[in-house]
Structure 1
Amino acid sequence: MRYLTTRYHTETPAEFIDANQKTMLTRIAARAIVIRDNQILMLYTQRYHDYSLPGGGVDAGEEIEQGLIRELQEETGAQEIRNIKEFGLYEEYRPWQREGYTSVNMLSYCFTCEIDNQLGETQLEAHEINNGMVPVWIDIDEAIAHNLDTIANSSKKGLSIERETFLLKLIKQELL
């Protein structure tokens, strides 16, 4: 899969990696790009006031494409996922205070795919429900503008918004 970029959520990347090497988790994620005309299937998260691509962590022993299909079905209710094609790998290093880790090296494998017109029931996890996550079809230009506004003006923004906005801009440039 082609490499897209690496993002460091710190001012001193080398020092951050050296200082956190022993407590850094490498996390594999799969993210779906589903487009119809100028509309893109996104997840709106009320807590962070942002739009993100459907997807998430790949389970141990799970192939990346299997993780993509599972996450897309769970988060959006997508049905008949097909024509899965590689888009690119987005890598990031960031703080991660969970399960004894202090940082994470997140590898987001992004794929384009098609789905049936009708979305089924979601199977969101408790934290996704608590964060107010809902699947939506939105004009890609609106999603980009919204995320840029959130980056500039909202104290609610999370770290993933930079990844999502980078990907949205690249998707618009290359696929639309």
Structure 2
Amino acid sequence: MRLLAHLTHHSIESLGNQQDLKVLKREAARGIVLREEKILLMYTSRYDDFSFPGGGLDAGEDPQLGLRRELHEEAGAHDIDIIAPFGKVTEHQPTWKADWDMMFQTSYWYHCKLNQPLVANQLEHYEVSNGMSVEWVALDEAIRHNHQVMQRRPDSMGISIGRETLVMERVASELLTGNGEKRGQPPREREASL
């Protein structure tokens, strides 16, 4: 799968190139589900941001199987076609696990199609506590909203907003035109610090 970007969270840069850092490796799968001029996204009120539905893979889990599981749990999607891989983002970021110095995460995005309407989702406790909800939203509106949050940099801002917004912009430039038709543009790799 093509690399869309490698990101390094600003808090990780201060750790330098130390050889003995304990790095937690994590993989995640995320879905790109388009319907006319709207995209299926998760809105999280705690962070006031939009993100793609999906999440962490279980140990040894195939990314496409994990994506199907995550889309069912988070968004209530139960009949999904995976059209094509879209790309992956690798990133070094802080971790919430005490025994690790940082996390290296690889997130895989897949362009998907829903064959049936969404049903009730099955959010995890922390997702409910964070105020997560399923939204069909205009992609440019979600991008604009996330950029406004990043400009304000509130204390509540989540660490994934930069990654999610970057991929939204790639989806807008590569999968959508003004009338919702697909278009192809050559991929570009990007390295950034968030």
TM-score normalised over the length of structure 2: 0.85
How big is each residue's C-alpha offset from its partner over 1:135-163, in whole Å with a ceiling of 9 and x where there is no partner?
A: 11000011001000111114121110000
Listed as ranges, the gaps of 5+ residues in structure 2 are 177-194
Q: CA offsets per residue over residues 52-93 of structure 1, 9 Å max, x none?
A: 000110101211100000001100001210133100011110
Of Structure 1 and Structure 2, the greater helix share is in 1
What is the alpha-carbon distance in structure 1 between the residues aligned to residue 71 and residue 16 of structure 2? Answer: 31
1:95 & 1:48 partners in 2: Cα distance?
17
Letter in 2 for 1:7: L
Distance 2:158 2:116 in 1: 30
Give the superposition deviation at 1:175.
0.2
The offset of 1:18, in angstroms, is: 2.8
- Any conservation in 1 of the 2:79–2:116 contact (CA below 8 Å)? no
Question: What's the secondary structure of 1:19's corresponding residue?
Answer: coil
Amino acid at match of 2:34: I
CA contact (8 A) 1:10 1:16 kept: no
Instruction: Say which SS state the counterpart of residue 109 (structure 2) adopts.
Output: strand
The CA RMSD measured in Å over matched residues stands at 1.7
After the TM superposition, which parts of structure 1 deviate over 3 Å for at least 4 consecutive aligned residues?
19-22
Task: Provide the TM-score with structure 1 as the length reference.
Answer: 0.93
Hey, what does 2:191 align to over in structure 1?
none
Q: CA deviation at 1:170?
A: 0.4
Unaligned runs of 5+ in 1: none
Q: Could you report, residue by residue, the CA deviation over 1:7-27 in whole angstroms, capped at 9, with x for unpaired residues?
A: 1112774x6363375311110
- The equivalent residue for 1:127 is 126
1:146 maps to 2:145: yes
Contact 2:82 2:110 in 1 (8 A): no
Match of 2:186 in 1: none
